[in-house]
Chains A and B, each alone.
Chain A
Amino acid sequence: MLSVRKGLHTVLLLFLVVIALIGCSTTPKPKGAEAFPPVSSESYDYPFDNAYLATVLGTPEKYRAELPKEIPLKKSKIKIFDRDVPDALWYDQELRYSYALQKQAAPLVFLIAGTGASYDGGKNTNMARAFYKAGFHVVSISSPTYMNFIVSSSKSGVPGDAFEDAEDIYRVMETIWGKLKKKIEVTDFYVTGYSLGGFNTAFVTYLDEKRQVFNFRKALLINPPVRLYSSISLLDRMLENIPGGVDNFPLFYNKLVAEIGRVYKRADQLNMGEEFIYQAFKAVNPDNEELAALIGVSFRISSANMAFTSDLMTDAGYIKPKNMHFTKNTSAGIFGHVANSLGFTDYFHAYFYPYHKAQDPGLSRAELIDRMSLSTIEDYLRTAEKIEVMHNQNDLILEPGEIDFFPRVFGDRAKIYPRGGHCGNMDYRDNVAHMVNVFRH
């Protein structure tokens, strides 16, 4: 039965990826190899021109930077607040994080994960490998929108505020550093993050100018949003690509499973690695709508996790009735269905805005939306030589033209790659080299 659980893990991985296989059973598309364009003749040869495909598939093995498979990455737990957590979230009292330490004095880099992602997700782990190989101590931290972070380390329990999240992350960094400094010698501090973690990085660096605990030497924002509300609206809308809308998810899921089954039956080896996924994509060749639906589902899972966790933390009566108590054993049941039906924008309007308005009665929605943007600290970003940006021209979380914010504000400190979608090229060798070089020089 344990071996079945291993398979379960594989299915978890495959689930989101192969969701896009839907619909191909009814409309076989003879596009063949188009989804896998030949290697471009340009000097930047990241393989996927299509932003959706890049976002979903990332970087194929042979295009990835060569990194050590095993680094001494240790997992640990730390208590941030001395407080009780809700019964239903009893297992998340302490913050989980990981670190890899050099034997000698070295610079230390903090990594901040993206929306709903954990410290040990694939992207943070690959960044940890790259920086460790380059001689850095590494500390990897989950996104402030990740359940374990919200429960253990969010002061308010209401994630999503640029400034409050930065305070929470800063506190986490200080607490972890308090523990690690007995073990290691650090020459300089650095910070980086991808997606929402890149956005967080900007505000953490801004906060550090006041607090001066780390005096970050350099900070790198990887594929950050500019205006948070624009990005969450785009991500919510991606779910409209599910045929019949989000209520049709069960049908969508069942069709998907039938499709996985067909590919799974043909695969005669149990080895369901990367090659299987690429073969499956080649065989089915999903179109952009299907890929967008897949990305939308992935972010919806994150938003449902975040919103429901936050609701349990604050007891604000967003999804769970205020005077109903969840025990350790309570089934999410119908509340889980509700959470899955609500998006980031619902969270913003019905939960996040009221929370802020209670503290600042004069606050309008438009003001709050404007505040949750890199523009808020634009003057600082323009002059902060220590902050650099790595982004993609065709990133899916930016509105048309929004990418121009970066060259305009950061000038030469913004490196914009021609393609890669949202974080799809993070493991690509040029990108990894750039990432490391920003901190080395």
Chain B
Amino acid sequence: MSTANQKRPATLMLLIAVLAFGGCSTKPVMPPDGEAVIPPDFPADRVLGKDVKYLSDTLISDPLEGFNRSIYRFNYRFDKYVFLPAVRGYQAVTPDVVETGIHNFFRNIQDVTTLINSILQLDFDKTMHTTTRLMVNSTIGLAGFINVARDVPRSDEDFGQTLGHWGVGTGPFLMLPVLGPSNVRDGIGTGVDWYALSEIRDRTTDLETWQELTWDILKAVDLRAHVAFRYYETGSPFEYEWVRLLYTTKRKLDVER
């Protein structure tokens, strides 16, 4: 419990920092007063069908777009100056075997989250598979460093999916600092999963604060090392829109799965 309390000021600071980015308009700058907009060669009202329902209108709600886009740029910079250099440094000093072991370790921890949420979703198969994986990997697999149970199907279930499973809608799209695309439901889910895991860690281990900090940083670096996505490298001026659409689609499928 004590560590959760210690983390609160940091979370608050982050929230304040984040709010400072908010409120940027997503509208283009219009011509000065009295000047009419010069119609382009292909004006929307001529090109677009009248009754077409666009995916961005039907599938996605993004009232916080101005804020989200600011965070998107912040994430690019965080990636560039903090996250990716950390990943490169980590990969340079860590032997591949150790890297794989650490990755397996955190995936094993992730299985705890999956187990909790499989139970909450009353999904018998996933619960059984995940229990098996956890038991085998945590023991024979030396606390998860070796993925012995590689033949047992692995799922990724989180609290956002659990909420979705029981009919909770996504709420508005949300770009989280550092973590990337999300929505209100999944953002809450991430918080709940994180809280549950740190409670479990507090109750099952006897770690010093610096050890917990190392754990958290290592976890973040390991996760980033396994995500190929790079901000502003998709070659599309519509990248934000694509990320939003594909994230929303992916989560829809995850919930149905």
Which A residues form the contact surface with B (CB < 8 A)?
1-9, 11-12, 15, 88-89, 91-92, 96, 116-118, 142, 146-148, 247, 250, 253-254, 257, 260-261, 264-265, 268-270, 301, 304-305, 308-309, 312, 317-339, 341-342, 346, 350-351
Given A265-B256, A329-B69, A336-B241, A5–B181 Cβ distance below 8 Å? yes
Closest Cβ of chain B to A298, distance in Å, is: 12
**Cβ contacts under 8 Å, B53 to chain A:** 250
Residue of B nearest to A1 (CB): B179
> Is A270 in contact with B76, judged by CB distance below 8 angstroms?
no
**Cβ contacts under 8 Å, A9 to chain B:** 227-229
> Is A96 in contact with B110, judged by CB distance below 8 angstroms?
no
Given A268-B153, A269-B153, A329-B24, A350–B237 Cβ distance below 8 Å? no
> Is B29 in contact with A324, judged by CB distance below 8 angstroms?
yes
Q: Which residue of the partner chain, among A257, A265, A308, A334, contacts B252 with CB atoms under 8 Å?
A: A257
Q: Which residue of the partner chain, among A253, A321, A328, contacts B55 with CB atoms under 8 Å?
A: A253
Complex CA–CA separation, A301 to B236 (angstroms): 8
Residue of B nearest to A342 (CB): B42
**Cβ contacts under 8 Å, A261 to chain B:** 252-253, 256-257
> Is B42 in contact with A8, judged by CB distance below 8 angstroms?
no
Is B209 in the interface zone, CB < 8 Å from A?
A: no
Closest Cβ of chain B to A315, distance in Å, is: 10
Q: Which residue of the partner chain, among A118, A305, A334, contacts B48 with CB atoms under 8 Å?
A: A334
> Is A250 in contact with B54, judged by CB distance below 8 angstroms?
yes
Closest Cβ of chain A to B126, distance in Å, is: 9
Q: Which residue of the partner chain, among A8, A116, A253, A305, contacts B238 with CB atoms under 8 Å?
A: A305
Given A3-B223, A8-B181, A323–B28 Cβ distance below 8 Å? no
**Residue with the highest number of chain B CB atoms closer than 10 Å, among A91, A270, A337:** A337
Complex CA–CA separation, A270 to B147 (angstroms): 15
**Cβ contacts under 8 Å, A329 to chain B:** 24-26, 66, 69-70
> Is A324 in contact with B31, judged by CB distance below 8 angstroms?
yes
**Cβ contacts under 8 Å, A321 to chain B:** 37-40
Instruction: Give the residues from 33 to 81 in chain B that come closer than 8 angstroms, CB to CB, to chain A.
Output: 35, 37-44, 47-49, 52-55, 58-59, 65-66, 69-70, 73, 76
Residue of A nearest to B161 (CB): A4
Is B165 in the interface zone, CB < 8 Å from A?
A: no
Closest Cβ of chain B to A30, distance in Å, is: 27
Closest Cβ of chain B to A370, distance in Å, is: 24
Complex CA–CA separation, A337 to B57 (angstroms): 11
> Is B237 in contact with A305, judged by CB distance below 8 angstroms?
yes
Number of interface residues of B (CB under 8 A): 73
Q: Which residue of the partner chain, among A305, A327, A346, contacts B236 with CB atoms under 8 Å?
A: A305
> Is A330 in contact with B253, judged by CB distance below 8 angstroms?
no
> Is A323 in contact with B31, judged by CB distance below 8 angstroms?
yes
**Cβ contacts under 8 Å, A88 to chain B:** 237
> Is A8 in contact with B41, judged by CB distance below 8 angstroms?
no
> Is B241 in contact with A1, judged by CB distance below 8 angstroms?
no
**Cβ contacts under 8 Å, B55 to chain A:** 250, 253-254
> Is B228 in contact with A6, judged by CB distance below 8 angstroms?
yes
Cβ contacts A to B, 27 pairs, < 8 Å: A2-B226, A4-B180, A4-B186, A4-B247, A6-B228, A6-B229, A8-B181, A8-B250, A91-B231, A96-B233, A250-B54, A254-B55, A260-B253, A265-B257, A270-B154, A328-B73, A329-B66, A330-B26, A330-B27, A330-B29, A331-B27, A331-B65, A333-B26, A336-B238, A338-B47, A342-B42, A350-B42
Q: Which residue of the partner chain, among B31, B155, B233, B240, contacts A270 with CB atoms under 8 Å?
A: B155
Given A257-B252, A324-B37, A325-B28, A319–B42 Cβ distance below 8 Å? yes
Closest Cβ of chain B to A165, distance in Å, is: 16
Is B118 in the interface zone, CB < 8 Å from A?
A: no
**Cβ contacts under 8 Å, A351 to chain B:** 41
> Is B253 in contact with A264, judged by CB distance below 8 angstroms?
yes
Closest Cβ of chain A to B223, distance in Å, is: 4
Closest Cβ of chain A to B77, distance in Å, is: 10
Complex CA–CA separation, A273 to B252 (angstroms): 20
Complex CA–CA separation, A253 to B42 (angstroms): 24
> Is A305 in contact with B235, judged by CB distance below 8 angstroms?
yes
Complex CA–CA separation, A254 to B252 (angstroms): 11
Complex CA–CA separation, A142 to B180 (angstroms): 27
> Is B235 in contact with A116, judged by CB distance below 8 angstroms?
yes
> Is B28 in contact with A330, judged by CB distance below 8 angstroms?
yes
Is B232 in the interface zone, CB < 8 Å from A?
A: yes
Closest Cβ of chain A to B252, distance in Å, is: 7
Given A323-B31, A331-B26, A317–B38 Cβ distance below 8 Å? yes
**Cβ contacts under 8 Å, B179 to chain A:** 1-2
Closest Cβ of chain A to B35, distance in Å, is: 7
Is B99 in the interface zone, CB < 8 Å from A?
A: no
Complex CA–CA separation, A331 to B228 (angstroms): 25
**Cβ contacts under 8 Å, B240 to chain A:** 331-332
Q: Which residue of the partner chain, among A8, A92, A116, contacts B246 with CB atoms under 8 Å?
A: A8
> Is A327 in contact with B250, judged by CB distance below 8 angstroms?
no
Complex CA–CA separation, A116 to B235 (angstroms): 8
Q: Which residue of the partner chain, among B70, B110, B176, B235, contacts A118 with CB atoms under 8 Å?
A: B235
Residue of A nearest to B27 (CB): A330
> Is A11 in contact with B246, judged by CB distance below 8 angstroms?
yes
Is B10 in the interface zone, CB < 8 Å from A?
A: no
Complex CA–CA separation, A254 to B248 (angstroms): 12
Complex CA–CA separation, A319 to B38 (angstroms): 11
**Cβ contacts under 8 Å, B43 to chain A:** 338
Q: Which residue of the partner chain, among B28, B156, B180, B235, contacts A327 with CB atoms under 8 Å?
A: B28
